[in-house]
Chains A and B, each alone.
Chain A
Amino acid sequence: MEDSALEPLFVFIAYSVSTIQRSFNALPGSAVIVRYVKSSHQNDPFRTILEAILVIFAIRTLLQSRTRSDTTGRHFIKFTANEIDELVDEWSPEPLVPSLNEAELADLASVPVTVGPPGPKPKLQSTGKTAINLASYNFAGLSGNDKVKDRAVSVLRNYGLGSCGPPGFYGTNDIHLDLERDIANFLGTEAAIIYSQGFSTISSVIPAFSKRGDIVIADRGASRSLRSTVRWYDHNDLNSLEEVMQSVAKEIKTKRWRLTRRFIVTEGIFENDGAMSDLPKLVELGRKYKYRLILDESFSFGTVGRTGRGLTELYNVPANQIDLIVGSLANTLAGCGGFCAGSRIAVNHQRINGTSFVFSAAMPGMLAMAASEGIQILTSTPSILSNLHTNIFTLRSILDKIDCITIPSHPASAIIHIQLRDPIEPAGNGLPTTARAVSRRPSNPTSLVPRDLVVFDIGAEEKLLQEVVDEALAQGILITRARRLRGQEALEPRPSIKIAASAAVSKKDTEKAASILKGILTKVLGKK
């Protein structure tokens, strides 16, 4: 009875097996697989099992999604639903952001707000009066240029304002193409690419080229987050750079690293203190040790050199010797955004790999036009920059004579940082004061801490400097403290006052402002 009951099942199984066999044999190439499995199994049954496991593992890896949960890990603890509920009830998160302390609130309250255009004499919201503007990055005085305004209106009436799309999807228009060509021609590089925010340019350029395993040597004064192997050299000290390069070369030899891309990352004029890099030496070192050079010219482009082409013009170094020049279009050129100029290959590479280029909307055409027009004006009217250089000279000749301050900025820099001459030592926070002693020992390139660590009390210094700023504002001069993200920078820069020279401010006003500032600085800082 049982046999007959099961018989249809057996028939079915036998039929299915033979069908599967037949269809498998019908597949082209199936004979090869069968032969392969048979022969490998005869040689080494263990190998068949191993290969089967490999195949299963490969399939499993393929099927695993990136949203999988990690319930099998060694550290995983199993809970019952009730226990989880209890844990959920128990958990109380920290506040999303800690509330601001008094110093920070004061910081925020002291941000100047201008009413109307940021020209040479803007009106301030707090006082209702005008002030001489030594805060805006209006280096060449292009803000509010009438020719640019006229052209802006015609762009508005033909292109509208927004680009309404990323560059890859119909966001690129002929104004953008013209600007890219203008920048490349101006600097003398093969090509250039524009980004829609100056600040985001460098942080997109570096990761586009420097991948895992590559080596980046960066100046301690210029810190960004990177995934590559980073080494640091002392701020603006090229001997230190060479030492670091040698140590890397040694490391490569001893550890037998494969050949990877190597970069030097530094700024032309440093935003944090206005110091200037020695470009010819940098290029030479780069050549010698086979490093590519990424130079951030945000503050040197449009301010130094006869027509504002930046460090390359000042030092007479052909721009094609620098692999990537990054700059801002928002400062001197009074547009917005940033650019990266270099070889055609380097630029095209960013069109697909520069995250903030690909995933961000193209900049408004009107602002791209402003930058193009700015370049045009700089090239055709060199007198603009000679005015700027005269004003910088005027400022420096007065400020340099003050005893109680230090100016770390280069004499040609359009941003002038003023620091306290003697750092205020923090009161009893346990930091060794010996750190200030000058040692000749080279610094540790894997750490951001410089060789001669200067210890200073940020809060006290900032408070004093803010007093100077407030007093200056009361006397009709708009300057600001260099604002920094305290606690978020890898290396805290010294507090400073940042003065931006401008060609738009007359020589007389510049002189007047500098003298008033001198008085205030001596009064406020001299008394301590």
Chain B
Amino acid sequence: MTQPSSVFDDSDVADGTGLIIPLQPPSSAQVFHTVHSEFGHCDNQLQRHTSRHPLGVPLERTEEQDPPYYILITTYLSFVFFICLGHLRDFLGKRWNPELYSHLIPSDGYAAFSSDFDSFYTRRLKSRLDDCFSRPVTGVPGRTIILLDRVSPDYNATFHLTGKHIRGLNVSSYNYLGFAQTQGGCADAVETSIGRYGLSSMGGRMEGGTTDLHVQAEALVSRFVGHEDSIIGSMGFATNSTTIPALVGKGSLVISDEYNHASIRYGVRVSGAQVRMFKHNNMEDLENLLREVISQGQPKTHRPWKKILLVVEGLYSMEGTLVNLPAVVALKQKYKFYLYVDEAHSIGALGPHGRGVCDYFGVNPRSIDILMGTFTKSFGAAGGYIAGPKPLIAALRIRTHAGSYAEAMSPVVLTQVIASMGSIMGVADSPKHLEVSSSASTSTIQANGLRDGSEGRERLRRLAFNVRYLSRGLKKLGFITYGHEDSPVIPMLLFNPGKMLLFSRLMLEWKVPIVVVVVAYPATPLVTSRVRFCLSASHVKTDVDMLLRACDEIGDLLDLKHGHVKERWTVDKIIDNALQIAKDASFS
């Protein structure tokens, strides 16, 4: 049934890696409708799990293990070394080779284009690691991804494409539910939509850019997240950065988790509200802060705050931690602040029904004032949404910059949202007004698996299994990982900046290429450089096995195993006991 009509058809390549053709060929009883390289073939119902937090059990704080001192010291030393070397190079370079520094030196009465101090980190530290960043790709960012091979003849100043393609296992894209596909019900729906609507809405939401698809998608989103109404914006970043200024302003206070995303910080800065931060996910610190700010009132004047808005993320993408939502909601009852939850990464990826952190913790979504999320990640689309009570959303439609001035979301993107979200919900069960009627719009969802929601549930359960298996497997191997074990983002600590480069390269050049994301300062604290695995429902158990093997081998080589665990297991033992590892309620 698979039709890899792709121009990237590399089936002639001697495989044996399992990336394109499954290692075990499917039996005659098994029929798969997906392309294995995009969405892995797996019908083993044992390799499934449900992502859910036991009701009534308080969320344990995730511990952040410290590495041995020599690791910390060498990490600091390497930064010190690179900073000194960088300054030395700047000093000599400006004198001997000034044309290379022309944009940093004032000339002809113009000030320097960027200050050498501001760009120091970029030029002297990040440029050494540039090999691991911004690698161009081609094709679909599904279970595997194709890198465009590149070389740098001048120490990362420029890169040239060699024309070669490298297909690797993709544990980097935010493709949590595996909807980044070129085949299947969603892609078919999008194709129909291209034919009917074209690609663009040609205008702002208030000025003729609203189509029936917008209305339909917003109704679906509000039902999905469990709130009264929602508004869709064409860019996730802008959804945060333009909504927050519409909610708070002078005289209001925003309480923000210290690791909140840049878009939230940008929005808060623009809003003109006061901002206070609390220690990441630390509820005691939050309560102390709340007591302080409410009792003290506004600085100097001591007038009471007009309102207090608490902004947290459902899943922190750099840390892999989940917000302690039950505790936050309990605090909300007592301290009467408004709650804004950014579910950019958690929506679709967490909870038994994929409806984000509320679903995961069993919290009523209506007890949260504003639910924000994006479609880029789990739904394989783009843009973001805000859901909340009807009057609030109505006000936002009129009062946000993005609502009035930004372009409306493209109809094809909306179709992808409707099809993928509908397939998780099972739109066949939904009331009539959501029925995707063929007269008013596209006959969006045709495939049966999408209509009754069985395919969506399957994806959720596959993701939950993969995530637990990898997260617990890495710990058992002796690595230090951060975050919650049900988080689809799993950060594994590397510490030394030099190891980032090596780890990323070695994974890519391992016997089966593995494509990973490494992140460092300023996205993380200086010492805790890390690699970030993003798992997907499209991965199969053998992919995770492979990833564990690669990490085991390279981890030994780079001396990365510093975690404290009761008993370290060999990688073979872990792979053999995968089901037990992933499914035990508490496993250590």
Instruction: Verify B277–A164 contact, CB threshold 8 A.
Output: no
Q: Determine whether A523 belongs to the interface, using a CB cutoff of 8 Å to chain B.
A: no
Task: Return B453 CB to nearest CB of chain A, in Å.
Answer: 21
Q: Which residues 167-195 of A have a CB within 8 angstroms of B?
A: 167-174, 176-177
**Residues in A neighbouring B299, C-beta threshold 8 A:** 75
Partner of A172, one of B137, B174, B309: B137
**Residues in A neighbouring B215, C-beta threshold 8 A:** 113, 125
**Residues in B neighbouring A413, C-beta threshold 8 A:** none
Q: Determine whether B510 belongs to the interface, using a CB cutoff of 8 Å to chain A.
A: no
Instruction: Verify B296–A76 contact, CB threshold 8 A.
Output: yes
Q: Determine whether A250 belongs to the interface, using a CB cutoff of 8 Å to chain B.
A: no
Given contacts A170-B135, A173-B138, contact A156 B295 (CB under 8 A): no
Q: Dominant SS at the A interface?
A: loop
Instruction: Verify B234–A197 contact, CB threshold 8 A.
Output: yes
Q: Determine whether B262 belongs to the interface, using a CB cutoff of 8 Å to chain A.
A: yes
**Residues in B neighbouring A138, C-beta threshold 8 A:** 202
Most chain-B CB neighbours within 10 Å: which of A144, A157, A167?
Answer: A157
Task: Return A63 CB to nearest CB of chain B, in Å.
Answer: 14
Whole-angstrom CA separation of A353 from B122 in the bound complex: 10
**Residues in B neighbouring A254, C-beta threshold 8 A:** none
Given contacts A136-B209, A480-B207, contact A173 B277 (CB under 8 A): no
Instruction: Verify A111–B205 contact, CB threshold 8 A.
Output: yes
Given contacts A162-B179, A168-B134, A225-B270, contact A157 B210 (CB under 8 A): no
Given contacts A100-B394, A158-B140, A367-B199, contact A77 B277 (CB under 8 A): no
Instruction: Verify B207–A94 contact, CB threshold 8 A.
Output: no
Nearest opposing residue in chain A for B393, CB measure = A97
Q: Which residues 161-183 of B have a CB within 8 angstroms of A?
A: 170, 172-175, 179-183
**Residues in A neighbouring B305, C-beta threshold 8 A:** 91, 93
Given contacts A108-B397, A356-B235, contact A366 B113 (CB under 8 A): no
**Residues in B neighbouring A346, C-beta threshold 8 A:** 113
Instruction: Verify A480–B208 contact, CB threshold 8 A.
Output: yes
Instruction: Verify B137–A173 contact, CB threshold 8 A.
Output: yes
Given contacts A133-B208, A262-B111, contact A164 B141 (CB under 8 A): yes
Task: Return A496 CB to nearest CB of chain B, in Å.
Answer: 12
Instruction: Verify A164–B377 contact, CB threshold 8 A.
Output: yes
Instruction: Verify B126–A360 contact, CB threshold 8 A.
Output: no
Q: Determine whether B198 belongs to the interface, using a CB cutoff of 8 Å to chain A.
A: yes
Whole-angstrom CA separation of A2 from B161 in the bound complex: 83
Partner of B180, one of A97, A160, A211: A160
Instruction: Verify B139–A159 contact, CB threshold 8 A.
Output: yes
Nearest opposing residue in chain A for B298, CB measure = A75
**Residues in A neighbouring B204, C-beta threshold 8 A:** 483
**Residues in B neighbouring A157, C-beta threshold 8 A:** 5-6, 182-183, 187, 191
Task: Return B183 CB to nearest CB of chain A, in Å.
Answer: 8
Nearest opposing residue in chain B for A164, CB measure = B173
Most chain-A CB neighbours within 10 Å: which of B112, B118, B294, B407?
Answer: B407
Q: Determine whether A104 belongs to the interface, using a CB cutoff of 8 Å to chain B.
A: yes
Nearest opposing residue in chain B for A479, CB measure = B208
Scan A431-452; emit 1 where CB is below 8 A from any B CB, else 0: 0000000000000000000000
Q: Determine whether A524 belongs to the interface, using a CB cutoff of 8 Å to chain B.
A: no
Q: Determine whether B87 belongs to the interface, using a CB cutoff of 8 Å to chain A.
A: no
Instruction: Verify B134–A172 contact, CB threshold 8 A.
Output: yes
**Residues in B neighbouring A198, C-beta threshold 8 A:** 406-407
Q: Determine whether A116 belongs to the interface, using a CB cutoff of 8 Å to chain B.
A: yes
Given contacts A97-B246, A118-B201, A355-B266, contact A160 B241 (CB under 8 A): no
Whole-angstrom CA separation of A527 from B211 in the bound complex: 35
Nearest opposing residue in chain B for A332, CB measure = B202
Instruction: Verify B202–A137 contact, CB threshold 8 A.
Output: yes
**Residues in B neighbouring A336, C-beta threshold 8 A:** 199-200, 234, 407, 410
Whole-angstrom CA separation of A363 from B302 in the bound complex: 46
**Residues in A neighbouring B392, C-beta threshold 8 A:** 96-97
Scan B372-406; emit 1 where CB is below 8 A from any A CB, else 0: 00111101111000000001101111111110111
Instruction: Verify A162–B416 contact, CB threshold 8 A.
Output: yes
Q: Determine whether B498 belongs to the interface, using a CB cutoff of 8 Å to chain A.
A: no
Q: List 20 A-B contacts (CB under 8 A).
A: A67-B279, A75-B300, A88-B290, A96-B369, A114-B212, A136-B208, A137-B203, A148-B198, A149-B194, A162-B380, A170-B515, A200-B241, A330-B200, A331-B407, A349-B119, A352-B122, A355-B266, A361-B382, A367-B413, A480-B206
Closest 8 CB pairs of A and B: A135-B208, A199-B406, A197-B235, A144-B198, A136-B202, A360-B237, A330-B407, A483-B206
Interface residues of chain A, those whose CB is within 8 Å of chain B, are: 65-67, 69, 71, 75-77, 79, 83-84, 87-88, 91-100, 104-105, 107-108, 111-119, 125, 133, 135-138, 143-145, 148-149, 152-153, 156-165, 167-174, 176-177, 196-200, 209, 211, 214, 225, 259-262, 271, 290, 292, 328, 330-331, 334-336, 345-346, 349, 351-353, 355-356, 358-361, 363-364, 366-367, 370, 478, 480, 482-485, 488, 498, 500
Interface residues of chain B, those whose CB is within 8 Å of chain A, are: 5-8, 38, 103, 106, 108-115, 118-119, 122, 126, 133-142, 145, 147-148, 170, 172-175, 179-183, 186-187, 190-191, 194-212, 214-215, 234-238, 241, 245-247, 258, 261-263, 266, 270, 277-279, 285, 288-292, 294-296, 299-300, 302, 304-309, 334-338, 369-370, 374-377, 379-382, 391-392, 394-402, 404-407, 410-413, 416, 440-441, 515, 517
